[in-house]
């Protein structure tokens, strides 16, 4: 992702992530470090991925249904907390044009073949990883400043407890903020001086780092920073009040702490009056006119630093992944311009299964496009979902600039990747049918002729006749639009209707002579879902149920 909004230098349009526009107004150290509030590694906050980190290309539902989360865990090798979410944003917002994909491939290739660039980037990443504890703590202290330790927040504590907590924070805040400030500055300087490259992708990263360093607000990083009573401030903000003393926190705050200690030793109302008058005097000499920058309320928008860092680690992770996958024999697909979605692959295998190295993975020849959907039928546990996921994951990997597990492939670039699975109704909803139909409608409204969509059991919760008609209408609409459409279904009648009306090419997965799945596909509609076979495997056929009931009755007697 890149900066959008107030850019100092225009950059190519495809580097701007339209889903999350940021502004460049870093006027406080709190703002510089505030990105860590958003960019925590997802593993550290399970189930708490902000919606803004899902791009417009890959739907959030795909991360679960299509196992994109498993794919992401294979790709992501980042070491810095902020890069976890950055990688997530990158994967959910892949390139959507051929030039963008080629640019990413070029950036990865140049990183793989340029040892000086590789060494410089990994040095930056290594230094940041070593300082990540201070970055996190520095962020927390900078955002909070000393506001949480003022006397007004300690009405339920006695004065000595307030003093103790105040002094504890004074001692704790200075080293972490100082380290964080220097780390941010050195990181930006390192990125700005990366070796020259031919790739526009790397050049854009370097330009953006220089934009920050050349901005007047960069003095915040280079000059002294003061953690005074009102928060973290620059010399210009605190003005003459600091008397030029202090590296990490100002003289005013020292005077205030000393003042509180002195007043605490004076008993009764005299101590209170001494504190009141001297406190106001100390506050009076602070330059308040320069103390309030309006951008303090815009901290959440100032994540430029963490965008750059996460982009470095993302490219490093993608480079490592590309090297690994090419060693496994994966191939780069040929990319074609097409008004409508197209995907053709020889011996397509499951990316997640192939990458995990769990034995031999069966491949299949797949083609989608030409005005038809794919209707996948077959036995339960026969590989229908795995086949659809393989196509979906391969499309995403290709648009990330990575090779895919095929012997050869020719594909178009999708502008949307959507996966619609079963939806479970809430207590106050319109029921399962209404929930699922609304979800399908929302997905349909986002599709274009260049999109790929997978429907896993398109609708349920109504009569078979009505379900058949509605599903036929939806698939027909997708085909007429031109979107690449895959339907996974146990409804054999639906698959036959779609085939007869030339709306879909039917595919079915084969069983061997023992009735076990082979995971190979042929054209045609399955004769049965083999539900009885699965029930026998689980031990829950009609015969098993009657036996269990008889055993329960005997146990009761």
Residues 370, 441 within the same domain: yes
Q: Is residue 14 part of a domain?
A: no
Residues 456, 512 within the same domain: yes
- At 269, the pLDDT band (50, 70, 90 cuts) reads low
Residues 216, 336 within the same domain: no
Q: Is residue 326 part of a domain?
A: no
In this prediction, residue 426 carries a pLDDT of 55
Q: Which one is predicted more confidently, 534 or 547?
A: 547
Residues 108, 231 within the same domain: yes
Q: Is residue 63 part of a domain?
A: no
In this prediction, residue 83 carries a pLDDT of 64
Mean pLDDT of 232-251: 47
CA distance 54 to 60: 6
- At 166, the pLDDT band (50, 70, 90 cuts) reads very low
Residues 376, 498 within the same domain: yes
Q: Is residue 48 part of a domain?
A: no
> Is 90 exceeded by the pLDDT of residue 27?
no
Nearest to 354 by CA among 401, 389, 384, 318: 389
In this prediction, residue 445 carries a pLDDT of 92
Mean pLDDT of 289-295: 28
- Which structure tokens are listed for 90? 């990158």
> Is 80 exceeded by the pLDDT of residue 28?
no
pLDDT per residue over 175-222, tens digit each?
A: 555 566 677 788 889 999 999 888 888 999 998 888 878 765 565 566
Residues 283, 346 within the same domain: no
In this prediction, residue 348 carries a pLDDT of 97
Q: What is the DSSP string of 430-495?
A: SHHHHHHHHHHHHHHHH--TT-EEEEES---SS-HHHHHHHHHHHHHHHHHHT-EEEEE-S-HHHH
In this prediction, residue 115 carries a pLDDT of 94
Q: Which one is predicted more confidently, 226 or 221?
A: 221
Looking at 17-31, 213-227, 384-398, which range is the least confident one? 17-31
Q: How far is CA 510 from CA 126, 134, 418, in A?
A: 50, 57, 27
| Domain housing 253 | 20-41+78-290+302-308
CA distance 93 to 89: 6
- At 96, the pLDDT band (50, 70, 90 cuts) reads very high
pTM above 0.75, yes or no: no
CB 275 within 8 A of CB 260: yes
User: What's phi and psi for 420, nearest 5 deg?
Assistant: -110, 115
Residues 356, 226 within the same domain: no
Q: Which one is predicted more confidently, 173 or 406?
A: 406
Looking at 208-222, 224-238, 435-449, which range is the least confident one? 224-238
- At 76, the pLDDT band (50, 70, 90 cuts) reads confident
Residues 281, 339 within the same domain: no
In this prediction, residue 427 carries a pLDDT of 47
Percentage with pLDDT > 90 across the chain: 31
CA distance 497 to 506: 10
The residues, ordered by sequence, that sit 6+ positions from 109 with a Cβ below 8 Å of its Cβ are: none
Looking at 4-8, 317-321, 431-435, 537-541, which range is the least confident one? 4-8
Q: Is residue 535 part of a domain?
A: no
* Residues 56, 61, 66, 69, CA torsion sign: positive
Domain boundary among 308, 343, 363: 308
In this prediction, residue 73 carries a pLDDT of 86
- At 476, the pLDDT band (50, 70, 90 cuts) reads very high
In this prediction, residue 31 carries a pLDDT of 40
- Which structure tokens are listed for 404? 């895919």
Per DSSP, 320 falls in state H
> Is 70 exceeded by the pLDDT of residue 160?
no
Note the maximum CA span of the chain: 97
Q: Which residue has the tokens 């990490």?
A: 248
∠ CA 120-124-129, nearest 5°, is 145
Q: What is the DSSP string of 260-272?
A: HHHHHTS-HHHHH
Q: Is residue 355 part of a domain?
A: yes
In this prediction, residue 91 carries a pLDDT of 87
Looking at 87-96, 288-297, 388-397, which range is the least confident one? 288-297
What pairing do the DSSP bridges indicate for beta strands 373-377 and 504-511? Answer: parallel
Residues 373, 516 within the same domain: yes
Percentage with pLDDT > 70 across the chain: 61
∠ CA 145-147-149, nearest 5°, is 105
pLDDT per residue over 53-73, tens digit each?
A: 556 789 888 888 888 888 988
> Is 80 exceeded by the pLDDT of residue 375?
yes
Residues 476, 410 within the same domain: yes
Nearest to 25 by CA among 413, 320, 296: 296
CATH of residue 340's domain is 3.40.50.300
Residues 272, 340 within the same domain: no
> Is 50 exceeded by the pLDDT of residue 317?
yes
Mean pLDDT of 336-355: 95
CA distance 79 to 53: 19
- At 16, the pLDDT band (50, 70, 90 cuts) reads very low
- Residue 420's SS3 state is strand
Residues 272, 346 within the same domain: no
Per DSSP, 333 falls in state P
pLDDT per residue over 482-541, tens digit each?
A: 999 999 998 889 999 999 999 999 999 888 878 788 899 999 888 766 677 777 778 888
> Is 50 exceeded by the pLDDT of residue 78?
yes
Q: Is residue 85 part of a domain?
A: yes
- At 299, the pLDDT band (50, 70, 90 cuts) reads very low
Domain boundary among 308, 343, 368: 308
In the chain, how many domains are there?
2
Q: Is residue 35 part of a domain?
A: yes
CA distance 354 to 324: 12
CA distance 348 to 449: 23
In this prediction, residue 417 carries a pLDDT of 95
In this prediction, residue 436 carries a pLDDT of 82
In this prediction, residue 29 carries a pLDDT of 38
The 3-class secondary structure across 210-229, one letter per residue, is HHHHHCHHHHHHHCCEEEEC
Looking at 2-16, 335-349, 408-422, 473-487, which range is the least confident one? 2-16
CB 53 within 8 A of CB 88: yes
> Mean of the per-residue pLDDT values for the chain?
72
The residues, ordered by sequence, that sit 6+ positions from 10 with a Cβ below 8 Å of its Cβ are: none
């Amino acid at each position: 992702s890149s900066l959008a909004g107030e850019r100092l230098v225009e950059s190519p349009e495809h580097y701007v992530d339209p889903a999350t526009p940021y502004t460049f107004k870093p006027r406080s150290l709190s703002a510089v470090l505030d990105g860590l509030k958003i960019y925590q590694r997802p593993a550290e906050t399970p189930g708490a991925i902000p919606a803004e980190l899902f791009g417009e290309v890959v739907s959030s539902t795909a991360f679960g249904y299509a196992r994109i989360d498993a794919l992401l865990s294979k790709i992501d090798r980042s070491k810095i907390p902020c890069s976890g979410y950055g990688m997530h944003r990158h994967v959910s917002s892949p390139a959507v044009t051929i030039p963008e994909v080629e640019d990413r491939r070029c950036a990865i290739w140049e990183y793989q073949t340029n040892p000086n660039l590789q060494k410089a980037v990994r040095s930056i990443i290594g230094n940041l990883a070593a300082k990540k504890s201070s970055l996190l703590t520095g962020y927390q202290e900078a955002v909070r400043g000393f506001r949480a330790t003022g006397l007004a927040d300690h009405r339920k504590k006695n004065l000595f407890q307030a003093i103790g907590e105040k002094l504890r924070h004074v001692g704790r805040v200075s080293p972490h903020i100082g380290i964080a400030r220097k780390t941010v500055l050195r990181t930006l300087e390192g990125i700005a001086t990366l070796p020259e490259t031919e790739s526009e992708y790397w050049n854009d990263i370097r330009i953006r780092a220089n934009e920050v360093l050349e901005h007047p607000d960069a003095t915040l990083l280079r000059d002294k920073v003061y953690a005074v009573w009102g928060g973290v401030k620059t010399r210009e903000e605190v003005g003459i009040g600091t008397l030029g003393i202090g590296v990490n926190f100002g003289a005013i705050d020292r005077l205030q702490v000393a003042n509180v200690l002195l007043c605490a030793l004076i008993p009764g109302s005299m101590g209170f009056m001494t504190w009141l008058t001297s406190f106001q005097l100390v506050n009076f000499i602070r330059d308040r006119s320069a103390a309030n920058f309006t951008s303090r309320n815009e901290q959440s928008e100032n994540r430029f630093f963490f965008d750059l860092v996460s982009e470095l680690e993302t490219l490093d992770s993608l480079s490592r992944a590309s090297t690994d996958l090419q060693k496994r024999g994966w191939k780069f697909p040929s990319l074609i311009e097409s008004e409508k979605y197209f995907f053709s692959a020889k011996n397509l295998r499951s990316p997640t299964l192939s990458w995990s190295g769990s034995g031999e993975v069966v491949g299949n020849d797949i083609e989608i496009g030409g005005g038809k959907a794919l209707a996948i039928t077959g036995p339960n546990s026969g590989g229908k979902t795995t086949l659809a996921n393989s196509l979906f994951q391969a499309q995403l990997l290709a648009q990330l600039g990575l090779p895919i597990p095929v012997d050869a492939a020719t594909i178009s670039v999708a502008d949307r990747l959507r996966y619609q699975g079963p939806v479970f109704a809430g207590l106050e909803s319109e029921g399962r049918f209404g929930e699922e139909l609304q979800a399908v409608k929302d997905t349909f409204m986002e599709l274009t002729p260049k999109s790929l969509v997978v429907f896993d059991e398109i609708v349920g919760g109504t009569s078979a006749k009505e379900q058949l008609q509605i599903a036929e209408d939806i698939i027909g609409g997708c085909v007429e639009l031109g979107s690449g459409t895959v339907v996974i279904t146990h409804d054999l009648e639906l698959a036959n209707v779609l085939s007869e009306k030339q709306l879909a090419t039917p595919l079915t997965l084969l069983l061997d002579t023992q009735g076990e799945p082979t995971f190979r596909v042929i054209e045609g509609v399955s004769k049965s879902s083999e539900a009885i076979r699965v029930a026998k495997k689980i031990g829950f056929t009609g015969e098993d149920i009657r036996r269990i009931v008889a055993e329960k009755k005997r146990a009761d007697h």
